[in-house]
Amino acid sequence: DLRHYESGNFIAKEHITKRGNPYARKILFKCIHNIASASRTNPCHIADFYEKRKRQSQTTSTKPHTIASIHRLIRTMYYL
C-alpha cells in the first residue's frame, strides 16, 4: 500500500501498512531477499539500497531495511 502524507512543510514518515493483499506482501518480501541474494552476479539499485540500509539498521527483529527495500521496489514498479 503506497501511502504518502504531507501538509505544508510537514512530511510524515512512510511505513508499511497492513492494508492490501497479504499474499502480495509475502511475495514482495521474498522478492527482496531473492534480489539481495542474486546481487552478487546481477547488481541492481534495489540490492544496493538494501545493503546500505542493512548496514545502517540497528535492530534486526523488525527488519526495517527489508521494508524500506520493499517500498523502493514498489515505487520502481509503479514508475515503470
Q: What is the pLDDT of residues 37-72, one digit of tens each?
A: 999 899 899 999 888 888 876 655 557 788 888 888
Show the domain range for 40.
20-79
Q: Quick one: what percent of the chain has pLDDT higher than 70?
A: 75
User: What is the predicted pLDDT for the residue at 23?
Assistant: 92
| 2 in any annotated domain | no
Whole-prediction pTM value? 0.68
| 13 in any annotated domain | no
Q: Where are the alpha helices (DSSP H) in 2-63?
A: 22-38, 45-56
Number of folded domains in the chain?
1
User: What is the predicted pLDDT for the residue at 14?
Assistant: 61
Using CB atoms within 10 A of its CB, is residue 29 exposed (0-12), middle (13-18) or buried (19+)?
middle
| 45 in any annotated domain | yes
| 42 in any annotated domain | yes
| 38 in any annotated domain | yes
| 10 in any annotated domain | no
| 8 in any annotated domain | no
